[in-house]
A and B are shown apart, each in its own frame.
Chain A
Amino acid sequence: GAVVSQHPSRVICKSGTSVKIECRSLDFQATTMFWYRQFPKQSLMLMATSNEGSKATYEQGVEKDKFLINHASLTLSTLTVTSAHPEDSSFYICSADRPGEQYFGPGTRLTVT
C-alpha cells in the first residue's frame, strides 16, 4: 500500500517559537494533501487542504497566519505552527490523496511548554 511519512514524530517547543512538520508521500505523487488535528480521545478535525502549486484551503475557524501550509512539491507538504502556545499542543496528522483513497501519516505529537 501507499506510504506517507511525517517528520518529526514528536516535538517539544517553547511558547512563542515556530515548529515545522513535514508530510511526504513516499511512493506516489499527491496533488492534494490534508492536515488534521486530533485532541485526546476525540476525532480528527480537518484543518486545511493543501494543494500543490496553489494556496491551501483552510476550514472555518482555522487561523491561516498561525498554521502556515506549503505544498512545495507533489510529494511534500509542510505545516508550520507559528508563535506556538500551549493550546496548540495536539496530535497533528496529515494524509495524501490518491484517487479514491486517502493515506495517512503516522502523526506528529506537538507539545508546547
Chain B
Amino acid sequence: AQSVAQPEDQVNVAEGNPLTVKCTYSVSGNPYLFWYVQYPNRGLQFLLKYITGDNLVKGSYGFEAEFNKSQTSFHLKKPSALVSDSALYFCAVRALISGGYNKLIFGAGTRLAVHP
C-alpha cells in the first residue's frame, strides 16, 4: 500500500534557526513527492515537488527538500526560520489509481511553530 508518514505532530524552532520537517514514504515505482503548506482556514499552497533529477529540490519561500531514495525520505528544510513560517505542513505522494488517474496521498501533517 502506498503511504506517507510524518512522524512529528509538531515541530518547534526559534526564529533564525534551521528547521526540518520530516517525511517518509512508501510507494511502488518512482515516487512523485510534494510539500504543501496550509494556513488557518485556508486551502493548501504548493511549496515544492520532486519528480526526477537533483535530490535537493528548491521551492517557494526559501524552503527546500532532500529526496533520499535509500531512506525513502523527503524532509523539508529551511536554513533560517521565520515566525511567518508557522503553519501546517503536509507531505504528499502521487499515486496512480484505477482508470489511469492520479491522486495525492497525504501525510497527517506537521504543525510548525516558530517562536521569536
Physical interaction between A and B: yes
Question: A106 vs B107: C-alpha distance in the bound complex, in angstroms?
Answer: 19
Number of interface residues of A (CB under 8 A): 25
Give, as a whole number of angstroms, the nearest-CB distance from B50 to chain A: 12
Give, as a whole number of angstroms, the nearest-CB distance from A102 to chain B: 6
Question: For A103, what are the chain B residues with a Cβ–Cβ distance below 8 Å?
Answer: 46
Question: For B90, what are the chain A residues with a Cβ–Cβ distance below 8 Å?
Answer: 43-44
Interface residues on B, range: 20 to 34
Give, as a whole number of angstroms, the nearest-CB distance from B41 to chain A: 7
Question: For B97, what are the chain A residues with a Cβ–Cβ distance below 8 Å?
Answer: 49, 57
Sample (17) of A-B pairs whose CB atoms are under 8 Å apart? A43-B90, A43-B106, A43-B107, A43-B108, A44-B106, A49-B103, A97-B101, A100-B32, A100-B49, A100-B51, A101-B34, A101-B49, A103-B46, A104-B43, A104-B44, A104-B46, A107-B43
* B residues at A contact (CB < 8 Å): 32, 34, 36, 41-46, 49, 51, 90, 97-99, 101-104, 106-109
Question: For B32, what are the chain A residues with a Cβ–Cβ distance below 8 Å?
Answer: 100
Question: A95 vs B62: C-alpha distance in the bound complex, in angstroms?
Answer: 24
Question: For B51, what are the chain A residues with a Cβ–Cβ distance below 8 Å?
Answer: 100
Interface set, chain A 97-113, CB cutoff 8 A to B: 97, 100-107, 109
Question: A106 vs B102: C-alpha distance in the bound complex, in angstroms?
Answer: 21
Contact flag A57-B101 (CB < 8 Å), given A1-B46, A105-B43 = yes
Contact string against B for A residues 1-28, beta-carbon threshold 8 Å, 1 for contact and 0 otherwise = 1001010000000000000000000000
> Does B101 lie within 8 Å of A51, measured CB to CB?
yes
Q: Which residue from chain B places its CB closest to the CB of A49 in the assembled complex?
A: B101
> Does B41 lie within 8 Å of A57, measured CB to CB?
no
Question: For B43, what are the chain A residues with a Cβ–Cβ distance below 8 Å?
Answer: 4, 6, 93, 104-107
Give, as a whole number of angstroms, the nearest-CB distance from B101 to chain A: 6
Give, as a whole number of angstroms, the nearest-CB distance from B79 to chain A: 24
With A43-B107, A43-B108 given, name 11 new contacts (CB 8 A): A1-B46, A4-B43, A34-B103, A42-B109, A44-B44, A44-B106, A46-B103, A57-B99, A93-B43, A93-B44, A102-B104
